[in-house]
Amino acid sequence: MLIDTYGRIATDLRVSLTDRCNLRCTYCMPEEGLQWLAKPDLLTDDEIVRLIRIAVTDLGVTEVRFTGGEPLLRPGLVGIVERSAALDPRPQ
């Protein structure tokens, strides 16, 4: 079970799949000063699914949100979603 510093039980997990984005919204993607993560610094698809599996089966997470940057830029997105949806119990 995940409990925050205020004693609340956390049941949702936010997974940032990439820091890349094809848009330049001023609130999160300024024109200058961004340094992208190097590919070796990103979790692999297998590592992401393993993290989600642990969160769902061992920590009581019931909802998973995929964020980014732009999650659709992650080449393995479909596989990550399919494998996450196949977990038991199945997260939302």
Per-residue confidence in pLDDT tens, the chain, 92 aa: 889 999 999 999 999 999 888 887 777 766 776 777 777 778 999 999 999 999 999 999 999 999 988 999 999 999 999 999 999 888 88
- Does residue 92 form part of some domain? no
- Does residue 67 form part of some domain? yes
- Does residue 8 form part of some domain? yes
| pLDDT of the residue at 34 | 72
What global pTM score does this model have? 0.85
Look at strands 63-67 and 12-16 and give their pairing.
Answer: parallel
Determine the angle formed by the axes of helices 77-85 and 45-58, rounding to 10 degrees: 20
| pLDDT of the residue at 26 | 75
Residue 47, domain extent:
2-85
Alpha carbon distance 23, 3 (integer Å): 35
- Does residue 57 form part of some domain? yes
| pLDDT of the residue at 85 | 95
- Does residue 55 form part of some domain? yes
- Does residue 90 form part of some domain? no
| pLDDT of the residue at 40 | 78
| pLDDT of the residue at 92 | 84
- Does residue 42 form part of some domain? yes
Computed over its alpha carbons, how large is the radius of gyration of the chain?
15
Sign of the torsion formed by the C-alpha atoms of 74, 79, 85 and 89: negative
Q: How many domains does the chain have?
A: 1
- Does residue 91 form part of some domain? no
